[in-house]
Amino acid sequence: MTNIAVDLSETSHVEAGVPDTKSADWVFRASVVWLVIVVVFVVLGELNPLVGDPNEKNADLINASPGWPNIFGNDSFGQSIFDRVVVGGRISIFVAIAVTLIGIVVGGTMGLIAGYFRGWFDSLMRLIINTTLSIPALLLVIFIVTVRGRGLANVVLAVSLLAIPALARIVRASTLQVADRDFVKAAEVLGVRRGKIVLQEVLPNVMPTMVSFAFLTTGIVLVVEASLSFLGLSVEPPAITWGSIIAGGRDKFNDAPHVVFAPAIVLFLTVLSLNFVGDRLLKRYDIREASL
Amino acid sequence: MILTILLLALVLLGVWVVRLAGWKFAAQRFGGALIVLVLVTFGTSMLLRQVPGEPCEIALGTAATEEAVALCVEEQGLDDGAVVQYVNWSKDILSGDLGYAFYKNQEPLIDTIQQRMPRTAWLFLYSQLLALMIAVPLGIWSAYQAGKRSRNIPSWLIYPIVGTLFVFGQFVAGWRVTALIGVAFVIPVLIFNFVRAGPSGDTTVNFVAFVLLSIPVFVIGESLRYAFAVQRDWYQLTGYAPWSDGAAAHLKSIWLPALVLGLAATPVYLRLLRADFLQNLQQDYVAVAKAKGMSNTHILVRHVLRPSTVTLMTVLGLNIAQLVNGAVVVEFIFDFDGMGGYLIEAVYRQEFFAVQTIVALVAALFILTNLVIDLLYTVVDPRVTATAGS
């Protein structure tokens, strides 16, 4: 299948109009602050004096509402939701970052080579990209996790298979644009080796696109992983993820809605911030998805 | 039956495209789709071979006799080479033998599909209609407002939005959650709109769409389920009622999942349509129409909406993949016995063969739909053929 459908459809994210930088500034700063808070809390984990043991059950606090000192409340075992969200974020965020890095490195390399050197490798890449993108993402992930088991490595592998072709497609398109520009042609005429041109001329110019989409991808991966955990198909139970806290709160929604809402809101704000940062970077570097 | 009609339509479309665009173009499109289809199905059957241990033993359970396992291994061709197995499998599929939904009791998969597919199909249809009904007018309006700066528009638009969110919070879980929602949603919106001077209605719509885009489907689904199905009985979780039970019963049994799925799809269409509109509004023919003294409404609806529908059509096709993802989650939340619900069930029961077949079928459906849309393009917009080579 050719790419016209895909190409034409990717008009979505970026505004075609005048970039509204002033209003974005506020939101952009807030997003960055939120992301930093999340990452610091999650990385520190239990070392942080504010965070207790996520598995400590307290019979007095069963289904306790949000308040002080447990600002997110407690679940039906009396476990502090705040502690669980902080510790559970470790897997969620690890998966998101790991998948994005794999996607950037593998997909980016594929896209660069395909976009700059063209030829049979490009045809092959386009075939692979089209094939992988034509399977509904969640189905593929579910299938892989069913077949290979529910380990952390398998989840990362399965979700990476989605991120790689998506990023490869974007990097390839961006490389095609850059490769067409005069300074690349000049380097070619001067007789610079092609490998060197890719690394020194093309890559730096593709970098902004890669970084912007890395943020957007991280957001998508967070949601995919959370959906998987929600369906009970991610990492096995003793491990906590944001999705599994939400899934665990489902039965007791009546008594303790905060068990679902607290991690859901943290997840939502994180994804929203990632989207804002990604979108803002796209605007900053004037990257039009429509032209990719 | 349905397959025959689909294939016939495809052939007719193919003939049309050949007439319009020539053999080479048509062959390119059909050949490409076929290659991708084969690769996808082959890939899924390769993945199945990665099952640790013996898939047949897992499928039949621990109580199975050795003969039964041996029979199953032979039937599924697990001892054959990868290619032989794949060829046999596709022969079976093409001759209409889809295998078993639940291997142990030899329940044919085709029955399950016939029973459950209509539910998912209706769910898709309603959710897409709803999403388009919201996204198209809002998209047009917000593109029209883009770049304008005024203090007045958000002040009337923001109140219904904030109000709805508060009522919703109250509805779902009382004031504590309302307060949480307030912190999470309303304050950013308020800051966004009032701290800085004068964003337009477009900014607000865009912002809300952005926010909606960032909420995972299961969060929307879970809260609406709680609000409408658990706390109030506006929606019964008792199951699906077909059209033959009457329109009211049918709609009553499906409206909430459709709403959730529709809400998840709305921001995608909205943002896309808006971006597309903004580009089209800069075209010369808009200026000409304006110079001729046509009204804004006329220009927007008659001159700009038409080219934008082509893009929207493509995205509707591509969004099927997204929709399948959403349907899996939504059907799981609402215990809606559709294909998505069955898929999760099959995964839990480790019915590898059924999962493989369904993944392959969905991928095939997706590829076919996009092929049809790709071909329709040539019919709708002949320029596609001209630029296809580049």
Q: Which pLDDT does position A21 carry in this prediction?
A: 52
C-alpha to C-alpha distance for B257 and B253, rounded to whole angstroms:
9
A17 neighbourhood in chain B, CB within 8 Å: 146-147, 278
Triad A38, A44, A46: Cα angle to 5°: 115
Q: Which pLDDT does position A42 carry in this prediction?
A: 85
Q: How many CB pairs under 8 A join A and B?
A: 216
- Contact criterion met (CB < 8 Å) for B268 and A12: yes
Radius of gyration of chain B, Cα coordinates, nearest whole angstrom: 25
CB B146 within 8 A of CB B279: no
- Averaged pLDDT for residues B70-85: 72
Q: Which pLDDT does position A10 carry in this prediction?
A: 39
Q: Is A30 on the interface with B (CB under 8 A)?
A: yes
Q: What is the dihedral of CA B127, B131, B134, B135, to 10 degrees?
A: -170
ipTM of the complex: 0.78
Chain A residue with CA closest to B197: the answer is A23
Beta-carbon-side half-sphere exposure of residue B47 (alpha carbons within 13 Å): 28
C-alpha to C-alpha distance for A38 and B352, rounded to whole angstroms:
38
Q: Is A135 on the interface with B (CB under 8 A)?
A: yes
Nearest to A17 among B176, B210, B278 (CB): B278
The three state secondary structure string of B192-204 is: HHHHCCCCCHHHH
- In a domain, residue B142? The reply is no
* Nearest-CA distance B250 → chain A (Å): 27
A149 neighbourhood in chain B, CB within 8 Å: 52
Nearest to B352 among A15, A146, A232 (CB): A146
- In a domain, residue B251? The reply is no
B217 neighbourhood in chain A, CB within 8 Å: 227
- In a domain, residue B59? The reply is yes
- Averaged pLDDT for residues B155-159: 53
Q: How far is CA B142 from each of CA A18, B123, B147, B277, B290, rounded to the nearest angstrom?
A: 14, 28, 10, 9, 19
Q: Which of B50, B222, B274 to mutate to test the interface with A (most CBs of A within 10 A)?
A: B222
Q: What six digits make up the tokens of A45? A: 């984990």
Chain B residue with CA closest to A230: the answer is B218
A125 neighbourhood in chain B, CB within 8 Å: none
For residue A223, give the nearest of A248, A242, A247 by alpha carbon.
A242
Q: Is B119 on the interface with A (CB under 8 A)?
A: no
Which contiguous run of DSSP H or E holds residue B102? strand B100-102
CB A26 within 8 A of CB A280: no
Q: Which pLDDT does position A6 carry in this prediction?
A: 39
Nearest to B325 among A136, A219, A262 (CB): A136
C-alpha to C-alpha distance for B253 and B235, rounded to whole angstroms:
7
Q: How does residue A133 score in pLDDT terms, banded at 50, 70 and 90?
A: confident
A16 neighbourhood in chain B, CB within 8 Å: 275, 278-279, 282
Helix extents (H) in B304-338? 305-333
Q: What is the per-residue pLDDT across A17-38, written as a single tens digit (0 to 9) for each?
A: 444 555 557 678 888 888 998 8
**For residue A63, pLDDT beyond 50:** yes
Average pLDDT, chain A: 79
Q: What is the per-residue pLDDT across B327-343, written as a single tens digit (0 to 9) for each?
A: 888 888 888 888 888 88
- Contact criterion met (CB < 8 Å) for B332 and A231: yes
Chain B residue with CA closest to A258: the answer is B177
Which contiguous run of DSSP H or E holds residue B101? strand B100-102
Handedness of CA B181, A254, A267, A57 (dihedral sign): positive
- Averaged pLDDT for residues A47-71: 71
**For residue B179, pLDDT beyond 70:** no
- In a domain, residue B370? The reply is yes
A11 neighbourhood in chain B, CB within 8 Å: 272, 275-276, 279, 311
Q: Is B176 on the interface with A (CB under 8 A)?
A: yes
Triad A131, A134, A139: Cα angle to 5°: 115
Helix B352-380 and helix A137-148, axial crossing angle in degrees, nearest 10: 160
Q: Which pLDDT does position B388 carry in this prediction?
A: 47
C-alpha to C-alpha distance for B126 and A50, rounded to whole angstroms:
47
More confident residue, B154 or B202: B202
Burial of A172 (0-12, 13-18, 19+ CB in 10 A): buried
Question: Is A52 in a helix, a strand, or coil?
Answer: coil
Q: How far is CA B68 from each of CA A124, A168, A219, B62, B81, rounded to the nearest angstrom?
A: 42, 46, 47, 11, 21
Q: What is the dihedral of CA A21, A26, A29, A35, to 10 degrees?
A: -110
- Contact criterion met (CB < 8 Å) for B328 and A231: yes
More confident residue, A135 or A17: A135
Q: What is the per-residue pLDDT across A226-285, written as a single tens digit (0 to 9) for each?
A: 888 888 887 777 778 888 888 888 887 777 777 888 888 888 889 888 988 888 888 777
Q: Is A43 on the interface with B (CB under 8 A)?
A: no
**Looking at chain A from residue 225 to 254, which residues have their Cβ under 8 Å from any Cβ of chain B?**
226-227, 230-233, 246, 250, 253-254
For residue A275, give the nearest of A221, A225, A207 by alpha carbon.
A221
Triad A104, A109, A113: Cα angle to 5°: 150
Lowest mean pLDDT among A34-38, A115-119, B311-315: B311-315
**For residue B50, pLDDT beyond 80:** no
**Looking at chain B from residue 41 to 60, which residues have their Cβ under 8 Å from any Cβ of chain A?**
43-44, 47-48, 50-52
Q: Which residue in this structure is represented by tokens 């129409």?
A: B289
Triad B275, B279, B284: Cα angle to 5°: 160
Q: Which pLDDT does position A101 carry in this prediction?
A: 93
Q: Which pLDDT does position B104 carry in this prediction?
A: 66
For residue A11, give the nearest of A291, A217, A201 by alpha carbon.
A291
What's the DSSP call for residue B240?
-
- Contact criterion met (CB < 8 Å) for A146 and B310: no
* Range among A58-62, A126-130, B267-271 with highest mean pLDDT value: B267-271
Q: Which of A2, A125, A291 to mutate to test the interface with B (most CBs of B within 10 A)?
A: A2
**For residue A2, pLDDT beyond 50:** no
- In a domain, residue B379? The reply is yes
- Averaged pLDDT for residues B256-272: 88
Q: Is B328 on the interface with A (CB under 8 A)?
A: yes
* Nearest-CA distance B16 → chain A (Å): 18
Which contiguous run of DSSP H or E holds residue A189? helix A182-189
**For residue A74, pLDDT beyond 60:** yes
Task: Kindly write down the DSSP assignment for every residue of B260-275, as one continuous string.
Answer: HHHHHHHHHHHHHHHH
- Contact criterion met (CB < 8 Å) for A257 and B172: yes
* Nearest-CA distance A265 → chain B (Å): 7
| Percentage of chain B modeled with pLDDT above 70 | 73
- Averaged pLDDT for residues B177-199: 60
- In a domain, residue B61? The reply is yes
- In a domain, residue B249? The reply is no
**For residue B63, pLDDT beyond 70:** no
C-alpha to C-alpha distance for B176 and B172, rounded to whole angstroms:
10
Nearest to B388 among A4, A147, A246 (CB): A4
Q: How does residue A105 score in pLDDT terms, banded at 50, 70 and 90?
A: very high
Q: Which pLDDT does position B176 carry in this prediction?
A: 61
Q: Which residue in this structure is represented by tokens 């380990």?
A: A151
B310 neighbourhood in chain A, CB within 8 Å: 8
Q: Is A271 on the interface with B (CB under 8 A)?
A: yes
- Averaged pLDDT for residues B48-72: 70
What's the DSSP call for residue A74?
B
Nearest to A139 among B51, B217, B359 (CB): B359
Q: What six digits make up the tokens of B273? A: 């349509």
B374 neighbourhood in chain A, CB within 8 Å: 1-2, 4-5
Helix A257-284 and helix B152-181, axial crossing angle in degrees, nearest 10: 140
Domain count, chain B: 1
Which pairing describes strands B107-108 and B100-102: parallel, antiparallel, or unpaired?
antiparallel
Q: Is A138 on the interface with B (CB under 8 A)?
A: yes
CB within 8 Å of B310: residues ≥ 6 apart: A8, B377, B380, B381
For residue B14, give the nearest of B371, B389, B386 by alpha carbon.
B371
- In a domain, residue B208? The reply is no
This prediction has a pTM of 0.80
What's the DSSP call for residue A2?
-
- Averaged pLDDT for residues B54-82: 70
Q: Which pLDDT does position A104 carry in this prediction?
A: 92
Q: Which pLDDT does position A99 carry in this prediction?
A: 93
Q: Which amino acid appears at position A239 of this protein?
A: A
Q: Which pLDDT does position A98 carry in this prediction?
A: 92
Q: Which pLDDT does position A49 carry in this prediction?
A: 73
Instruction: Count Cβ atoms below 10 Å from residue A45 Cβ, excluding itself.
Output: 14
Chain B residue with CA closest to A123: the answer is B32
C-alpha to C-alpha distance for A154 and B329, rounded to whole angstroms:
20
Q: How does residue A288 score in pLDDT terms, banded at 50, 70 and 90?
A: low
For residue B31, give the nearest of A121, A3, A131, A2 by alpha carbon.
A2
**Looking at chain A from residue 148 to 167, which residues have their Cβ under 8 Å from any Cβ of chain B?**
148-149
**Looking at chain B from residue 127 to 166, which residues have their Cβ under 8 Å from any Cβ of chain A?**
146-147
Task: Tell me, rounded to whole angstroms, the distance of Cα A148 from its chain centroid.
Answer: 22
Instruction: Count Cβ atoms below 10 Å from residue B270 Cβ, excluding itself.
Output: 28
- Contact criterion met (CB < 8 Å) for A137 and B321: yes
Question: Is B225 in a helix, a strand, or coil?
Answer: helix
- The parent domain of residue B29 ranges over 1-103+351-390
Nearest to A23 among B203, B367, B377 (CB): B203
For residue B57, give the nearest of B86, B42, B43, B78 by alpha carbon.
B78
C-alpha to C-alpha distance for A37 and B253, rounded to whole angstroms:
43
Q: How does residue B12 score in pLDDT terms, banded at 50, 70 and 90?
A: confident
Instruction: Count Cβ atoms below 10 Å from residue B190 Cβ, excluding itself.
Output: 13
Q: How does residue A8 score in pLDDT terms, banded at 50, 70 and 90?
A: very low
Q: How does residue B180 score in pLDDT terms, banded at 50, 70 and 90?
A: low
